Amino acid sequence: MSSVVDRRQERAERRHEHIAELNQRATETGLRLKRLCDAIETGVADLEDPAFKERIAGLKAIRD
């Protein structure tokens, strides 16, 4: 019985770690998107640049 409890606890810990990693990834991606938006607002980046649009789309997909 204790081995079942141990395995269950290990799975729960792995899930918590995975959720923490996903949250960190979402936060980092959100910050990257914010920096890109700041670059657009300040005129550093051109929104019409296809590579730029692709980068934004990729970051949004990761975040979502």
Straight-line distance from the first to the last Cα atom of the chain, in angstroms, rounded to the nearest whole number: 40
Encode pLDDT of 28-61 as tens digits.
999 999 998 898 889 888 878 888 888 889 988 9
Q: Number of C-alpha atoms within 13 angstroms, CB side, residue 61?
A: 6
DSSP one-letter code for 1: -
Question: Is 55 within 8 Å of 63 (Cβ atoms)?
Answer: no
Encode pLDDT of 9-18 as tens digits.
999 999 999 9
pLDDT at 16: 96
User: How far is it, in rounded angstroms, from Cα 6 to Cα 48?
Assistant: 54
pTM of the shown model:
0.70
User: How far is it, in rounded angstroms, from Cα 47 to Cα 7?
Assistant: 50
pLDDT at 43: 85
